[in-house]
Structure 1
Amino acid sequence: MPLTHDLPAAWTRTDVAEGLGLGTLIAEPCGFTLEANETVAGAQERFSCRFTVHTDLAWVTRNARVETLSPEGAHVVELSGSGGRWTVNGNHAPELDGCVDVDVAATPLTNTLPIRRLGLGPGEFRDIAVARVEVPSLRVCRVAQRYTRLHSSTGPQRYECRGNRFGTHEITVDREGMVLDYEGLAKRLR
């Protein structure tokens, strides 16, 4: 399915008092690039996050760079995956080996990776392991997730995403797999 987005998508965060994100998908000859940023200005936390994820043509993550700016300063983490083996900041991270996707916690955009890669039909589900980057700490950990494509007779595709660390949420996506609504996290503005 070709990408047709001309402009970045914008999301408002629904889990914090003030939060806004902007992100896009870019088709390239050897894969896809996801570019996005998020800014949160809540009573308890304030940070900005910028990230880039590169995938191959099958939507398998090759590398990711995540940058944050918070009261603790500016920080960067870089992940690289090849043949199921992962490094974090150039060091082998065996706890991530076997992960295929990167999930940047501050954004709904990285949900596009497994949605596009898995190609689920209505009622189908897959259990996957992802390298999750917590924001703003940039702590990287392995997380089990289950994506289930829900039956939808009309309108956008809907998925249930269940994770061992964050519960179950319904995700509604456009025809390219970009999130329109992520229950409890973000809602697409444009």
Structure 2
Amino acid sequence: MSPSNELPVAWSRLDVSEGLCVGALATGPSGFRLEAGEVVVDERERYSCRFTVDTDLAWATRRARVDTIDAGGTRVLELVRAAGQWTVNGERAPELEGCVDVDVAAAPLTNTLPIRRLGLAPGQYRDIHVAWVDVPALKVRRMKQRYTRLTPSGGLDRYEYRDPGFGAFDLTVDRDGLVIDYEHLARRIR
């Protein structure tokens, strides 16, 4: 099923003083494109981030570009996945081999990738490894994540997201797999 909503959606961040994310999912002839931007203002940090992720028709990441502006200046990160091999800013990254998804920590939009790609039935779970991008530092590392599809509630699909570093969070998503509520992190406002 192709996404039905190519309009931007917006999330309010719940884990910082002020934070707003805006993103869109678009369908193309050879895959999907996720585009998002985020601005965060907190006692600890102030930054903006913009990213684009291109996938194939099976929702597997082909490339991603992430740009940030913070107190340290501007930075750009480019990830490319071809024939199962990753490069980070043009340099081969063998530690990411086996990863299919990229997870940009700036917005809930990249959670759509494994949700759509895995096609889990309620009660099923899958452990995956992703190329996780820390924002605003733009450090990339391999991260193990688990997605469990929960019983739907109120007409919305539900998932539990879990990773060893941050713990477990409930996600509710719309019919396109776009996050509506990401427990303790973000809530969709449009």
Q: Secondary structure at the match of 2:152?
A: coil
Aligned equivalents of 1:16, 1:148: Cα separation in 2: 26
Equivalent residue number for residue 97 of structure 2? 97
Equivalent residue number for residue 55 of structure 2? 55
Aligned equivalents of 2:79, 2:170: Cα separation in 1: 27
Aligned equivalents of 1:45, 1:63: Cα separation in 2: 28
Aligned equivalents of 1:16, 1:153: Cα separation in 2: 27
Aligned AA (2:130): V
Runs of 4+ residues deviating >6 angstroms: none
Aligned equivalents of 2:21, 2:43: Cα separation in 1: 18
Equivalent residue number for residue 43 of structure 2? 43
Inter-CA distance 114–6: structure 2 relative to 1 (3 Å threshold): closer
Instruction: Measure how far apart 1:151 and its partner are.
Output: 1.1
Kindly provide the CA deviation profile for residues 58-100 of structure 1, in whole angstroms up to 9, marking residues without a partner as x.
0000000000000000000000112221100010001111100
Structure 2, unmatched stretches of 5+, are none
The number of equivalent residue pairs is: 190
What root-mean-square deviation, in Å, do the aligned CA atoms of Structure 1 and Structure 2 show? Answer: 0.8
Aligned equivalents of 1:110, 1:132: Cα separation in 2: 10
Equivalent residue number for residue 30 of structure 2? 30
Equivalent residue number for residue 131 of structure 1? 131
- Worse-matched range after superposition: 23-32 or 6-15: 6-15
- TM (norm. structure 1) is 0.98
Aligned AA (2:166): F
Aligned AA (1:25): L
Inter-CA distance 42–31: structure 2 relative to 1 (3 Å threshold): same
Instruction: Measure how far apart 1:6 and its partner are.
Output: 4.2
Aligned AA (1:104): V
Inter-CA distance 153–77: structure 2 relative to 1 (3 Å threshold): closer
Aligned equivalents of 2:136, 2:153: Cα separation in 1: 38
Equivalent residue number for residue 81 of structure 1? 81
Structure 1, unmatched stretches of 5+, are none
Aligned equivalents of 2:99, 2:71: Cα separation in 1: 31
Inter-CA distance 6–32: structure 2 relative to 1 (3 Å threshold): closer
Aligned equivalents of 2:186, 2:57: Cα separation in 1: 27
Aligned AA (2:95): E
Q: Secondary structure at the match of 2:86?
A: strand
- TM (norm. structure 2) is 0.98
Instruction: Measure how far apart 1:145 and its partner are.
Output: 0.3
Instruction: Measure how far apart 1:165 and its partner are.
Output: 1.5
